[in-house]
Structure 1
Amino acid sequence: MVPLLFLLHVFFIRLPGGDSVWTFGYLTAQTGESLTIPCFYDQKYKDHVKYWCTGQLWSSCTIMARTDSPQSSSKVSITDNPAQLVFHVIMRNLKISDTGIYWCAVEIGGIGKIDDSQDLKIEVKDAQSVRTVSWVSAKRGGSVTIPCYYDQKYKHHVKYWCTGSKWNSCSTLARSDSNQPVGKVSISDDPTHLVFNVTMRNLQEKDSDTYWCAVEIHGAADDGVYLQLIVMEATAVSPKQGELTTALQQTESFTSSTQQRDGFTSTTKHPTGWAVTMYPSGALTSTTNENLNTTQSPR
């Protein structure tokens, strides 16, 4: 049976000009934490007002933040970065009740003009047993290290790193119980701090994909969590650390092989050099390659 979320994503009727604003279709976050959402837009919207609203229907969504208004809310803030053609929305102290449909929107202005937008779903969940960044960016030719945190109960389990849009058919790239030759991918487990780190080197745009932090469970389905890797052109400007205040988000943990994402994908080449692979249930919170080196374990 095709997940309802996938049906909503595929068959949702977009507004005119909808290809000019885009983001990931599905985000997950943990209760009590913050979530940073990037909303990309075309060059033609560089000087337009951007805003963030919530509601099942676009025609009646409630505006929560605008780039032309003071940021007085402690719950939601918005920051535009015209140089990168992206605005970031930060939602703080998330609760289960914050689960819902949200919109990245651009004000067009003028009589009879309809604003441009992209919808996404945010689902807030309680803590999961395997946690990592929701998405990470890196420059072409560079390296990135991703921390994968896990609960005490997995301290002595084998950990592994795999890639692919479907959990039950992802391709294993590295395992903690295998020798780690110096190459494209390596994995290092640190049971003392309940984290294993994965390093990927010499990254290229084709490496932009879905990856999984996974724990091997004998006699039961493995446990794992996905993240998205976005590889930028070397000339692209990477996000500033201050704009992406949330380095870690606990994303959806898959404890059953039947709980998998559909393989529908679309790739967008962003004007600033981002090579973005989007999925109906993508998860995102960004951290730059530099930020990862100072990321702290989730509380």
Structure 2
Amino acid sequence: MAVYAKKKMFYISIGFWLILGVECYSGWSNHVLTIKTGGSVTIPCRYDEKNPPQKKYWYSEYDQSKIYTNTSEENLSVIDHPDQSLFTVTMKNLQNKHTGGYSCAVETEGQPNVTYELHLKVQSAPDVSVVSSSISGHEGGNVSVQCFYSSGYQNELKQWCRYKDQSCYTVGRTETSQNSSVQISDDGRRSFTVLMTGLRLSDSGWFFCSSGEAMNPVHLTVTEAEPVSGPTDNPGNSSETGISKNKNKTDTEDQQIRNKELLSVWLPVSAALLLLLILVGVFTWKWTQRSKQDKHQNRERNDSRTSDAVPQIWQL
């Protein structure tokens, strides 16, 4: 850019090197940020957290303007986040005219310095895009990001890059010192998937999906893991809760055993009682019928005797 060329400010690239299978790269100035026409993008701009600059701004080669932090316009906002040692630039409703060079810049004691520069390319079909530019996950959990690329970038190197330390992960699986891992799989059909497992709170921040020089930003938020047994006032209660759960489980099993034992005893007893009641009922019914029959026979005898006595009286 002409303005910065006059001031002889150059972004120094220190090239590539490998650390624990992770490729680190600081030559971000060669990268092209591809955004869909009419779309929006948020770009992070880091600065020295130990020596925060007095001024931070976003420089546009398009109109050679400087937009300082904490400025909000209709389609452009530059917001400082001192707790993260960075400021973000959000551009909305991007059109072809916005294609061009841009820079993150700071001023310390009146001396300007470019911290990050890129070339923004607005396209109807972006060379590299993502399903979502903002993702979240829990500590210890996993997140997945799907990145798309155009046919012209099919044979380019696919990477998932962390903006904070400018480290990049390539296709395959890479174990990190934080006990988390990154796996990138390319389906060869214009998309590749990034899987991050074993998330840590320190993984929160900005990343880039990239294919060759084309890239697209993604912000990851990692929150604390949700407690399994619910919140407790005393950390030691977790073990007590576990003991209590085991005791309750044992008591329940013992009760079930006792119920089975009682059932095995009461079933035959109940059957015997039921049989006895049936026998008593039958005996009672037969006894009642026998009594009725005896009464009926006695009545017949009495009637017979009476009929025999009547003729004798008339004979007298």
Shorter-chain TM-score tier: 0.3 to 0.5
Which fold has the larger relative contact order, with Cα–Cα distance below 8 Å and residues 6 or more apart in sequence? 1
TM-score when scaled to structure 2? 0.44
Higher helix share: 2
